[in-house]
Structure 1
Amino acid sequence: MALGESIVKHIERKSSISIGLTLLIITMLILSGPAAAVSINVSSLPTKIEQGNSLNFILDTNISAGENIPIYNITINVMNSTGNSVGNYTFYQNGTAITSGINVSLITSAPFGYGYRYGYGYAVPLGYQNYTFGYGYGYGNSTSSSKFEYNITITGFSTLSPGNYSLRILVDTGTGNYYTTATVPVVGVSAVSVTPPAVTITKPANGSTVGILNNTFEGSVTAVNGLAAVKLYLNGTLVDSWSSEGNFSRAMNYTSGALNVIKIEAIDNYNNTNVSEVSVYVNQPVVVVNKTVIANTTTTVNGIINTSTEIEFVPAVSGNVLVTLNASTNVSWLDNRTSNTYFSANVSANGRKALNGFVKIELNGTKVNDSNLRYAVVKMYYSFAQLDQNGNGKLDPGDINPAALHIYRFCSATGVWNAIPYNTNATICNGTVTVYNSGVNTTEGFVWANLSRLSLYGMAGSVVPAPTPVIVPVAAPGVTTHEIKIGSIGNITVKAGANVTVGIPLHSASEEPDVNIYLENLPSGWTAEQLKGVTLPLGNSKAEIELMVPENVTGGTYKVLIAVASAWFGKTEQKFNVIVTTPAKKPSKVTPLPPPAKKPSNVTIPPPAKKPSNVTIPPPAKKKGICGPTLIALLAAVPLALRLRRRRRV
């Protein structure tokens, strides 16, 4: 009896241990199973967005191989820096939104299927048997992992105040219990900048009087938030637009004999706007002067303000004469036998570009006229905007070189525009007109010609060439050749009192260390930076030196030396011309315009319209399923059940 009781107690003690271990295994599997079956990954998530913008990112719901998970819906919880929820956004697994404030696009879908599990155990009196525990439907793949991939846009983010926010993503299996979660790093929402673009107009001065050909409009635009657009208006009409920051220059087609209003509007990437404008009176482009002239004596007619032109002429006889200077940016208004297009075609044949400023000069008198002149000197003034073809506020490759400007004369007998050559006695217009001399004054900004007859005139010039790279044969392998060459620079144009960057094309036959690059032969008061200890690479390279020209310098052409020196190579030099222009003086009294009205700082951006809250989207049919870890837990319980059955039979 004692022996039997001892055996029973021993069996009971072993059974208790088995029951405890089995329950522990079941508990661990239930707690850890779902996290291993489904995982969440977020990509393309910005770390910072501006206030008023939606949040966009990619969400992956990954399902492990061999699993069939009945995913019901996904919820994204937005929390502020204190951990409080500021928005919940839910959608079905097929991408259909359940709540408003979220847009979902399904990129990739996991396959839908079913799974089953069975066991193998011993039962008395049946012996060892297979046991099937059932099956269930869900999303996944029996042989490989799969996923749902979504493109998520949370439009509700646009209503959030500046601050830091985190996302908590929860996956529901259809039972109402979220069993997989993920916390996404912080997304910062920053306040929108209300600083408008800065607009500066440097020419013309507000309230000034100009001529039809003195039509330069210059200034600069900068924007801390990036520039979306710059719009230029003349007398209320949009005449140009661009989107690049920095200096600009434009040639305006003014209305003569009237007040012209130029307005420039700059808009940044956040729609902050700044407007600046000036008003200028444009003189009639005509000068009519009645002169009493004396034979062999010089007579001057100054029409610079109205026509940008001045003439000096010496008649062969004395008498009264009516002198007429008529200017226009459209040459056909002065002579309908020609046009701007025809003029451009004529000058392009000489490799030049037209400035599109024209003047017609006539002498009408009883005794004195165009046919009995000893000579006449014509001076045509040009503007910077006429040279700056790309309008970026500086002269660079593709713009017109002022040192290579020419006057063109229209020959009414042939209908052809003749270029007036420099510094030579020549005849044009089928030998009917003699050119005694001509040239360019870049200091005062005019082109001049001394010739025997007057007519209709225009201007054109050669373009600023692109720097030509220096090509030097590379030394044979194993041989180091120390040779540095300076490429062509051309003419550099700068205004008095301004800085200019000198680009220096270089070519080195080998990698050359400790090279010094500097400017020599600078006029008094000029300064320039020096580049010391530079390493030049093998082949072509470019150096840049900032040159500072004092304000009180006299306009003209100055020759400057570029020097390049190193211990191995020695020294090489090259000359280039610096053309200094003197800006026209501004009127002493200029009435500034009032500043543009500031945008109110308390503007409230209304939130986007919410979707109706009472719209019910039917959920997909729920299907019961059995995930792998849960089935494993049921299998583990089979030996326990069999053991308890054997004990009852003992």
Structure 2
Amino acid sequence: MVVKKGQKKSILSSALITVFIVIMLIISGPAQAVSVKIADLDSSYTSGSSISFKIKIDIEDLDQYVPITNISLDLTGPSGVNKKSTFYLNGTPIPGGDSNISISPDDKNPSGKYGYGYGYGFDDVLDQGTDFGYGYGYGYGYSYGYGVKPKLEYDYDVTIDTTSLPVGSYSMVASLNTGRTEKPAFSSETETFDIVASGGGTSESIPVSIEIKPETINPKSNGEITVTIFNNDSAGFDVGNLNISTVRFGPNGAAPFWNNTPADKKLMLKFYTNDTGIQCGDTQATLTGKTYSEQDIVGTGSFRTRECSIDVPLSTDESGITNTTVTRESPSGNMTITIPAGTRALKSDGTPLSNITVTSLADLPSKAREKLSSRDRSIGELVELEPSGSTFVPPIRIRFNYTEPLPSGVSESSLQIRTYNETTDTWETLPIVERNTEENYIIANVSHFSTFALIGTVPEESSSGSGGSSGSTGGSGGSTGGGGVISSEPFDNIARVETVDRDLLADRAVKYTYSTLGLYEIDVTGGENENAISIRVEELKGTSTLVNESAPGNVYKNFNIWAGTKKIKDARLRYKIENTWLESNGLAGSDMKILRWSENRWQTLDIAEIKNDGTYTFVEADTPGFSSFVLTGLKGGLLPALTPIATQQPEETSTTSGTATITQTPTSEAPPVNLAIVMLVIVLIAIVAVVYIKRKEIFKK
């Protein structure tokens, strides 16, 4: 076919126009393709009634791809009311929203796939979203053509329960959230409405001050919340005139189950936590009520929530190796966990870990709390990481933030991240990777999941102990900081463990007392004054994994001792042995020996029997250092070829975070070599030399 010159120009012009239209569509972007409106909202509602309206979402240019993640509704009003609820496109609420706001999709909404991550539109390659027909398209792929493009509408019915909302004026905005930085959301115009009292009027409520206790609320608990209401004398409100039957509190409008008699211009009310509707992440709750003269009152108080959990998915291969780095904050925001890509993450049964749960605790479990010393202070955040027993190789990191001022007596240098070992019923101190006192955070390595806390320790201001032959005392002054204690023993070989903190004194014995172990006392003499030095004792299920051979004899207990300093001069151990065990094994107290693992062998300690109270036999032994020990019985006290510890060379045993060690007692001098042997060797050398010289003279001749 022959194309004439004029036709060529016409075709060229059409092509240019088409290209221009496509470019303008792309440049204009999805923002012009979507509208969000709040419809059917009245101007006022009576307090206690329900508010019903619609959210209408129109995708008007169907050749546009619009990425969509969820719908949110923001409501603000008097007395600090600030509520937000977020929903998936099918109407399912996303946890953390206000329970008094509900949403449901219209039955006539398009039945195409909800395009999470891909948006609305149709891609022949990805086969995602709703088929719009033919037309220009862009977003996650392009499709070209011409066709009819009807409007796509999504309508949602919304209901708000006003029972717990104070009287006054409100504003509201609905948003379609994209999850994209280019255009985070398409939002409606701000709509307003009033909540009026049953007798009319919008601003008749008297503001009152309220106090909410406890300051930290566990929304999941079956506990109670106490709200105290105070007089507003300037507005003429007296708590004695409040009609308690009208009082409602929290998002669900809970009624009080108890109240006291008004006194001192205040009234106390109690509510069941589960009735209030308070959820994780809430920071405020409102109380409303009426006086006997039908006067409305409203008050809002602040609090924090704990025992709130978030689930974090992990992407791992079949062997449990993570594919990407995951960083997530705890619900309260004061702890951050980081799991780097390439970490082997396994459940306790050895299968790959696909999901973790981070929970901000309202309080420590009672057993864990009891295991803290009287000088320990919890600093801000308590976190539980689950599934419990999950392991990570190499260790992952957790970061705890804190704010100043710290509790009285607690210094930043004393802050430690500790983990609670449920098997041994003890707290373990984690090695500190980074301590930043400028930005107020601490980072530690974690190899398994459990309960974690940031703990500060106050120094002892008086005696750290008394009694015993060593005249144990405590104190401080001219001190250096102590360190945390790290165990090299696997958790599954530890039966019981106890850690005690004391202030060490130079050249004076300080008593460490243990309440749950057979090793009940250690007298420790320091090389210099040090504050808050931890000494950890572990009773083991079997032979320590840190030694190469089992101890001889009839073993009573295997145990490890670790110290949080390198500056200990010596120590005395005191152990109690059950008499029933001695009798059943045909042993006496004099048959018992304490052996210490040092220089790759078992070495004996001098042991002495202190007393026998009929139930226990008490013994003591001096040791120049801490490591693995065994208390064993041998009939007659005879040991097979073990080297006495006094003849060994000095050593250092790592016991604390990073570098802290415990220094051993210097050795005695080695015995002199036999002089006769030396003289014999010299004579033999002389004879050999003479023979050698004579042979050379003979050969020269």
TM-score after normalising by structure 2? 0.22
Task: Give 1 or 2: higher strand fraction.
Answer: 1
Flag the structure with more relative contact order, 1 or 2, with Cα contacts below 8 A and sequence separation at least 6. Answer: 1
Larger Cα-atom Rg: 1
